[in-house]
Amino acid sequence: MNQTHPPTSSAYNPFRVAQQQLDEAAKILQLDPAVHEFLRWPMRELKVTLPVKMDDGSTRIFHGFRVQYNDARGPIKGGIRYHSEETIDTIRALAAWMTWKTAVMDLPLGGGKGGIICDPKMLSAGELERLSRAYIRQVGRLLGLEKDVPAPDVYTTPQIMAWMADEFSFQRGYTEFGVITGKPLALGGSAGRGDATARGGMFCLREASKALNLNLKDAPTAIQGYGNAGSFAHKLGKELLGLKIVAVSDSRGGIYNPDGLDYEQVLAHKAQTGSVINFPGAQFVTNEQLLELDVTVLIPAALENAINASNADRIKARVIAELANGPTTPEADQILFAKNVCVLPDFLCNAGGVTVSYFEMVQNAYDYYWEETLVHERLDKKMTTAFWTVHDVAQRHKVHYRLAAYLVAVNRVAEAVRLRGWA
CB 242 within 8 A of CB 216: yes
Which of 294, 321, 349 is the endpoint of a domain? 349
Question: Do residues 293 and 330 both lie within one domain?
Answer: yes
Contact (CB, 8 A) for 30 and 275: no
Which phi and psi (to 5°) does residue 82 adopt? -110, 115
User: Which ranges in 217-345 belong to alpha helices (H)?
Assistant: 228-236, 263-273, 287-291, 330-338
Q: Do residues 342 and 200 share a domain?
A: yes
The residue among 345, 338, 336 whose CA lies nearest residue 317 is 336
Give first-to-last CA distance, the chain, whole Å.
Answer: 35
Task: Please give the Cα distance from 191 to 356 (Å, whole number).
Answer: 9
Q: At what angle do helices 401-419 and 88-104 cross, to 10 degrees?
A: 80
113 among known catalytic residues: yes
Considering the domain architecture, whether residues 264 and 344 belong to the same structural domain is answered as: yes
Indicate the residue among 152, 179, 206 that finishes a domain: 179
- The residue segments making up the domain with residue 336 are 196-349
Residue among 309, 301, 260 at smallest CA distance from 282: 260
Tell me the CATH number at 302. 3.40.50.720
* Per-residue pLDDT, 4: 37
- pLDDT means per 10 residues, the chain with 423 residues, are 40 88 96 98 98 98 98 97 95 96 98 98 97 98 95 93 97 94 96 96 98 97 95 98 98 96 97 96 96 98 89 97 93 95 96 96 95 98 98 97 97 98 94
* Total count of domains within the chain: 2
Do the domain assignments include residue 186? no
- What pLDDT, on a 0 to 100 scale, did the predictor assign at position 9? 43
Measured distance CA(33)–CA(119) in Å, rounded? 41
In this prediction the pTM is: 0.92
198 close to 229: Cβ distance less than 8 angstroms: yes
| Cα–chain center distance at 132 | 20
Contacts of 174 (CB under 8 A, 6+ apart): none
Say if 101 falls within a structural domain: yes
How far apart are alpha carbons 165 and 168 in whole angstroms?
A: 5
Same domain, 82 and 171: yes
Is residue 2 situated within a structural domain? Answer: no
**pLDDT the model gives residue 1:** 40
What is the pLDDT, as a whole number, of residue 3? 40
Other beta carbons within 10 angstroms of residue 417's beta carbon come to: 20
Closest CA to 256 of 309, 288, 293, 229: 293
* β-sheet with 59-70: strand ranges across: 44-53, 59-70, 111-117, 76-83, 148-152
CB environment 386-414: b (16+ within 10 A), e (fewer): bbebbbebbeeeebbbbbbbbbbbbbbbb
User: Does residue 168 lie within any of the structural domains?
Assistant: yes
Q: Is residue 211 part of a domain?
A: yes
pLDDT given at position 229: 94
pLDDT value at position 283? 97
CATH number of the domain that residue 116 is part of: 3.40.50.10860
| 349, 371, 394 - which closes a domain | 349
Contacts of 395 (CB under 8 A, 6+ apart): none
State the catalytic residue, choosing from 77, 101, 113, 183: 113
Same domain, 62 and 141: yes
For the chain, how many residues are written?
A: 423
Q: Please give the single-letter amino acid code of residue 340.
A: N
Euclidean distance between CA atoms 376 and 380, whole angstroms: 6
Residue 93 lies in a domain: yes
Has residue 137 been placed in a domain?
yes
Q: Across the strands, what pairs with 64?
A: 48, 116
